[in-house]
A and B are shown apart, each in its own frame.
Chain A
Amino acid sequence: MNIVSNKYKTVKPENVKVWFKAAPTNVFPIDGGACVKYKDLQIAVFNFTRLNTWYACQNLSPEKQEMVLSRGMIGDHKGIPMVACPLHKKTFSLENGENLNGDLEAIATYPVKIEDDFVYVGFSE
């Protein structure tokens, strides 16, 4: 199952070629996340209401290669917005994907924009 992780590469806002119209904003919980399907990718999208910001990252937990990050709790560690994997509570920065409480590889993050109450996730292809 290790092969899947190669599919996830961070996309910087300036490299977005496709803005994928994912879902209406109201299907995402307040201060929580849900999973979006784009082609064969699974993307966790978080509605960080307290910061009035949306984040997206791979749904794949790099620790055990399971598709679970969208089900994790979000919040902050020392001010860095983060998501905690529901399996073993490994935490990852929502800003740059870095593992905050261990030395796992960083997860891929993606830009998000909101237009007309719809969530768009940015991809490079």
Chain B
Amino acid sequence: MDLRPFRIALIFVSAAALAACEGTVGTVDDPVTTTPPATTASGASTSGAGGDTVSGAQTGAGAEDATTTTAIADPRHPLDDPSTPLGTHTIYFEFDSSDVPDSAQPVIEAHARYLSEHAGASVTLEGHADERGSREYNIALGEKRTLAVRRLMSLLGATGPQIRTISYGEERPAQAGFDESAWRLNRRVEIVYRTRE
């Protein structure tokens, strides 16, 4: 007697919840008690429009690095030739490590040389970690990876102002998945050109 309506209620609620998710988020009704109902969307929402920004574009680039790099090759520009170190824009790391692997040295050297020869070019080094462990530690780990790459690039002739760094920790994986095949693609520094020549 009691169970059946309850089950119906659950179905009803989940359908309603789904409907609510599909539509706009602007739920004005707030059946919670407290003081003034907390409809905070206006003040809180950031300027929506994901994708117009640098970060939106970077996400796309990251995903393509991981899977279909050849698709965006532009042989006219050395930065876009994936068969060369300069056309490689991602450096991968071991777990919980910010040691730049030897195999990445040619990539770092190529970009450092490009930056030193093109004073108007500049990059953002985006640091990332795989999803294991805690999130803020992974933010710190991602930063440590960017700083290791920046240090090498600076030693090889790139100047400080040409290189910015930011860490996203585990917040922006390049590859979905929950095992080493995805994780190894997510422990990375992406070299994203802000300006090129």
Are the chains A and B members of one assembly? no
| A binding-site residues for B, Cβ under 8 Å | none
